[in-house]
Homo-oligomer: A and B are copies of this chain.
Amino acid sequence: MDDPDVVDSWRDLLARHANTWCRLERELADKHGLGVSDFEVLDRMAESEHGKYRVQELADAVHLSQSALSRLISRLEKAGLVCRNMCAEDRRGVFVQITEAGTERHRAALPTHRAILTASLTP
């Protein structure tokens, strides 16, 4: 790949990312009281069948630092969308689990999310 080409493709990526992220942020916040990262976390947990996740696993999945995710979990937990469970085998570990309320909130927000993606990412 040529030098000006990577720059173009990087700028294109930045533009798509900014536009999509920004719209998601606004509409998810307005209509469902969720940030983009909040939704992304709920989304991951909703699609896993067992519904349990280690903190670090989630952090990798949504590209957040471990500390950022720890606080995000705290916020979601306070909102009742998620709960933390002790990990029996390794008592340092924590399982994060989506609650009924969390599943419900996710289900409600899903159409908004998908609609924006479709509108924003299809040329």
Instruction: Please give the residue numbers on chain A whose beta carbons come within 8 Å of chain B beta carbons, in ascending order.
Output: 1, 3, 6-7, 9-10, 13-18, 20, 40, 63, 114, 117-118, 121-122
Q: A10-B20, A13-B16 are in contact. Are A121 and B63 (CB under 8 A)?
A: no
Q: A1-B121, A63-B18 are in contact. Are A114 and B7 (CB under 8 A)?
A: yes
Tell me if A17 and B20 are in contact (CB < 8 A).
Answer: no
Interface majority SS (helix, strand, loop, mixed), chain A: helix
Give this chain's copy count: 2
Tell me if A7 and B117 are in contact (CB < 8 A).
Answer: yes
Complex CA distance for A17 and B3, rounded to whole angstroms: 18
Contacting residues, chain B, for A17 (C-beta < 8 A): 13-14, 17
Contacting residues, chain B, for A10 (C-beta < 8 A): 20, 117, 121
Q: A16-B13, A17-B13 are in contact. Are A3 and B63 (CB under 8 A)?
A: no
Contacting residues, chain B, for A20 (C-beta < 8 A): 10, 13
Name the one of B6, B16, B40, B118 contacting A117, with C-beta atoms under 8 angstroms. Answer: B6
Q: A3-B114, A114-B3 are in contact. Are A121 and B9 (CB under 8 A)?
A: yes
Complex CA distance for A40 and B6, rounded to whole angstroms: 14
